[in-house]
Amino acid sequence: MRIHDPLALAKTLSPFDFQVLEPFNNAAFCMFYGDRLASSSWELHPDTDELLMVLSGSVTVEILTATDRHPLPLAAGQFTIVPKGHWHRHIDAHEVVELFLTPGTTLESTASDPRLPDTATVDVTPELTDRNI
């Protein structure tokens, strides 16, 4: 058992670094720090919902549906659940420290619109090992 302090850990990270904090039910609580980021890569979780909770700072999470884009501005103390099967990314990050839980697969795309046919994706699901926890 350990105590975790994501806000203190964020001070040691570079902008848009992420860190695995603690295993949890075949997944892990993770956190990231982001600042002055125009946008991250797109992510999709085909088999699970994802919890995104802002601990400090602010960020907008952009979620794609079949036909629309939904920007969700989040500030400290707020969270959202990204439904499985929806592409999403972070935009307008301002000194954000975010706690997240993604218990399944993570696919990533750098395409401008990952919904388009023949968009390349990469599986970036983190391996849970002792060295990154």
Domain-embedded: residue 46:
yes
Mean pLDDT in residue range 69-80: 97
Tell whether 125 is covered by a domain. Answer: no
Asked whether residue 34 carries a pLDDT value surpassing 60, the answer given is: yes
CATH number, domain at 47?
A: 2.60.120.10
Q: CA 59, CA 98: separation in Å to the nearest integer? A: 9
Range of the domain at 85: 6-105
The residue with greater pLDDT, 37 or 109, is 109
84 pLDDT exceeds 90?
A: yes
| Reported pTM | 0.86
- 70 domain-assigned: yes
Higher-confidence residue of 38 and 70: namely 70
Q: In the prediction, which pLDDT does 118 show?
A: 76
The reply to whether 91 falls in a domain is yes
**Residue 82: inside a domain:** yes
> Average pLDDT in the 90-100 region?
94
In a domain, 128, yes or no: no
Q: What is the 3-state secondary structure (H, E, C) of the chain?
A: CCCCCHHHHHCCCCCCEEEEEEEECCEEEEEEEECCEEECCEEECCCCCEEEEEEEEEEEEEEECCCCEEEEEEECCCEEEECCCCCEEEEEEEEEEEEEECCCCCEEECCCCCCCCCCCCEECCCCCCHHHC
Domain count, the chain: 1
Indicate if the pLDDT at residue 15 is higher than 90.
no
Is residue 128 scored above 70 in pLDDT?
Answer: no
